[in-house]
Amino acid sequence: MIRHKSDIPHAKRLVVKVGSSSITGDQADQLDGLVTALAAAKAQGQEIVLVSSGAIATGMPQLELGDRPLDLATQQAAAAVGQNLLMRRYQDIFDRFGVTSGQVLLTVGDVENEPHRSNARRTIERMLGLGVIPIVNENDTVATQEIRFGDNDRLAAQVAELVGADALVLLSDVEAIYTAPPSQPGAQPVELIQPDDDLSWLVLESSVVNTVGTGGAVTKVSAARLATASGIPTLVTGTWLVAGALAGQGPGTWFVASVN
């Protein structure tokens, strides 16, 4: 059982989630480090499921869209173009390590309702059995409410529960959950959060939304709570720190799992 951050290298199955702002635009170079770390973990015998945002943000430059589109149809078109490019970029790097990745597109409903839930679990289990790293993303081209209000942090927590992950790692553009927005004087990183800790003040103070994706501290806290309620401990840390995180080292906020 994974009880502490230092136990992550001993997890048999990990779900890792990365957001749009961490692997697109000015941060696109972080994709190489992320894939390298995931391939290294796989080489050590761990089963890895990656939940990756970034389809819309990746498709925007290809369609010459300067800002994230507001209308649903354009978001879906950008996602359709961007998902193809994003998967190609992932596989190009995985090829260096002899690793095969595979695309799994889900809506929130797919992981909440049978028989889609059973089909998704069976597919991911078979991919892992074949040595493939599943790359899961929300199916933005058909999503309606989720594409506007959903987030892949929550999807990652649901996927972690779906596949019985030993731990969930939520990668961010900051290295931890803070007591206030990190840019504010006096903001401090939170190292450990217990299941019964009152975080209402933290959630109110730490919301972040950027121009290429949705999410931030609020969604990560909510997703971590969802995962830990299912007995899955969760780490929130910076994308550039992923290699250390998978080795059980470095900064981050560790959410202790509930005992069911």
Residue ranges of the alpha helices (H) in the chain? 20-23, 30-43, 55-62, 72-94, 108-112, 116-129, 145-149, 152-163, 200-205, 217-229, 242-246
Distance separating alpha carbons of residues 25 and 85, to the nearest angstrom = 13
Binding residues for ATP: 17, 172-173
Distance separating alpha carbons of residues 174 and 228, to the nearest angstrom = 21
- Using the 8-state DSSP alphabet, how is residue 80 labeled? H
Binding residues: 17, 53, 140, 152, 172-173
Task: Give, in order, the Cα–Cα distances in Å from 156 to each of 77, 116, 227.
Answer: 23, 16, 9
Binding residues for substrate: 53, 140, 152
